[in-house]
Amino acid sequence: MAIYHLYYLRGGELIGSDDIDAPDDQAAARLAEAQGHGDLVEIWNSASKVRVVRPGGAMETLAAT
């Protein structure tokens, strides 16, 4: 399990944040989508942004740096 930090954005503005526990990035994305209530959600691990979940369920996986 890992801790992920979620940032909820609407219209380019931060509207909230939350911490979740998930076994991997994919599970974190599913949880973020469920908790996002139609807003864009950035998913961060302890070091970097790992994924963006867009309204409607589209997910953007970011390349590892």
pLDDT tens digits, 17-62: 999 999 999 999 999 999 988 899 999 998 899 999 987 655 666 5
Full-model pTM: 0.82
How far is 12 from 46, CA to CA, in rounded Å?
23
pLDDT of residue 61: 60
Strand partners, 14: 9
Distance (Å) of CA 45 to CA 20, 21, 27, 30: 10, 10, 13, 15
Residue 5 or residue 57, greater confidence: 5
pLDDT of residue 55: 78
Residue 63 has pLDDT above 60, yes or no: no
